[in-house]
């Protein structure tokens, strides 16, 4: 009777046939799901709370989009404390053909009903007024990241000043020691980046070794707070209808106040050159997942150029355009909301304006 009863319990509780009873089994299962690109299986291995519950789902979705057949998951420095554990997770994978990426992160695991699940990076919380600021719990990063706490409200104020949007006072900011560690926590397919934000996720920020100049930190923070605030100003679930180039244009428009001397001039020169010859059709810069890395520069350059063109006509036009994209999902209807007959006309006039500037 006993085995049958146990089996019945498993079926009734919906427990997996081979639930991960140890941290080692959990890590093996994560690796198998990642290699197979099985997003559902990966999600079933996740616990955690807060923004990680969204970040983990998005990480799994990326594995289905870009499977990682060569990825290896390795656990070390395991410390179990009751139903919680801390450990070091080392990932190695071939993000681009022939180039092996290697990243290690301090992570948390949790056990419920005898089943271990992955609960995301081990972050140490740093007091930061109404915001939640966390730093990856390794070396002296939490102590170094404390310099960011008083800057968060300044970055939010910059978004308010430029776009008229209030940044969520409860925003979560997570700090990483390197671009590669940051990107490995987002998606294995993501090239190393210095900042990141997606709807429902934390703002993620790199704090390089040796600290960071205040202006550089404000540049990254205000850029990411702009993404957060624009997303929050749209109807839930419509953020992905806003073209990627427009999202980045708005964010760089906000953060350019903190750019290093000469960087905005250099950007303007590259926009002018692109407008004269080498313009990439905006439609090809619309979908983050469809834009090759070689064109990321065009997304930021042309996006800022479009925002500057629209702002010169009417200060609220860029955000109005973003809202129209989110509401309608139709490029021409969106262009009409800011006074152009079609999106093609908008693009042609912007390009001519930027080429002659
Ligand atoms: Zn951005």
Across 221-227, average pLDDT = 96
Q: Ligand 1 mean position to 318 CA, how many Å? A: 16
Write the pLDDT tens digit of every residue in 106-131: 999 999 999 999 999 999 999 999 99
Residues 55 and 18 in one domain: yes
The pTM for the full model equals 0.89
List the domain range (segments joined by +) for residue 205: 123-224
Q: Ligand 1 mean position to 332 CA, how many Å? A: 24
- For the domain that residue 140 is a member of, what is the CATH number? 3.30.2010
Residues 216 and 293 in one domain: no
| Two tokens, residue 76 | 């070390």
Residues 24 and 66 in one domain: yes
Q: Ligand 1 mean position to 77 CA, how many Å? A: 35
Q: Ligand 1 mean position to 223 CA, how many Å? A: 6
Q: Is the dihedral of CA 213, 127, 195, 206 positive or negative?
A: positive
Q: Ligand 1 mean position to 143 CA, how many Å? A: 26
Q: Which pLDDT score, from 0 to 100, does residue 144 have?
A: 92
The verdict on residue 229 lying in a domain is no
- For the domain that residue 33 is a member of, what is the CATH number? 3.10.450.50
Q: Ligand 1 mean position to 26 CA, how many Å? A: 33
Which of 72, 100, 121 represents a domain boundary (last residue)? 121
Q: Mean pLDDT lowest for which of 16-20, 24-28, 323-327?
A: 16-20
User: Which residues hold their Cβ within 5 A of ligand 1, which is an ion?
Assistant: 248, 251
Q: Ligand 1 mean position to 195 CA, how many Å? A: 7
Order the strands of the 84-96 sheet from edge to edge.
72-81, 84-96, 99-112, 115-121
The verdict on residue 234 lying in a domain is no
Write the pLDDT tens digit of every residue in 149-191: 999 999 999 999 999 998 778 899 999 999 999 999 999 999 9
Residues 243 and 340 in one domain: yes
Order the strands of the 123-126 sheet from edge to edge.
123-126, 132-136, 172-176, 203-206, 195-196
């Amino acid at each position: 009777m006993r085995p049958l009863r146990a089996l019945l319990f498993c079926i009734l509780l919906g427990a997996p046939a081979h639930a991960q009873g140890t941290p080692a089994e959990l890590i093996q299962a994560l690796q198998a799901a990642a290699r197979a690109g099985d997003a559902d299986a990966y999600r079933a291995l996740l616990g955690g709370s807060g923004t990680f519950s969204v970040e983990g789902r998005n990480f799994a979705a990326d594995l289905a989009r870009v499977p990682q057949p060569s990825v290896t998951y390795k656990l070390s420095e395991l410390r179990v404390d009751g139903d919680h554990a801390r450990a070091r997770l080392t990932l190695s994978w071939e993000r681009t053909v022939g180039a092996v990426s290697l990243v290690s992160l301090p992570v948390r695991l949790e056990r419920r009903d005898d089943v271990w699940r992955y609960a995301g990076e081990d972050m140490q919380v740093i007091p930061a007024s109404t915001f939640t600021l966390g730093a990856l719990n390794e070396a002296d990063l939490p102590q170094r990241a404390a310099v960011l706490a008083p800057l968060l409200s300044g970055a939010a104020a910059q978004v308010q000043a430029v776009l008229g949007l209030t940044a969520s006072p409860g925003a979560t900011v997570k700090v990483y020691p390197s671009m590669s560690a940051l990107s490995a926590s987002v998606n294995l397919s993501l090239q190393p980046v210095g900042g990141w934000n997606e709807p429902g996720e934390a703002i993620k920020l790199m704090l390089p070794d040796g600290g960071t100049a205040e202006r550089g930190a404000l540049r990254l923070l205000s850029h990411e707070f702009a993404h957060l605030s624009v997303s929050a100003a749209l109807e839930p679930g419509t953020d992905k209808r806003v073209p990627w180039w427009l999202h980045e244009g708005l964010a760089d428009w906000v953060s350019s106040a903190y750019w290093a001397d000469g960087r905005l001039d250099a950007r303007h020169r590259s926009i002018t050159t692109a407008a004269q010859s080498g313009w990439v059709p905006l439609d090809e810069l619309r979908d983050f997942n469809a834009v090759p890395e070689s064109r990321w520069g065009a997304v930021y350059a042309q996006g800022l150029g479009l925002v500057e063109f629209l702002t010169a006509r009417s200060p609220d036009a860029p955000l109005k355009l973003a809202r129209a994209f989110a509401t309608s999902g139709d490029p021409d209807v969106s262009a009409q909301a800011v006074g152009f007959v079609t999106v093609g006309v908008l693009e042609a006039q912007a390009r001519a304006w930027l080429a002659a500037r």
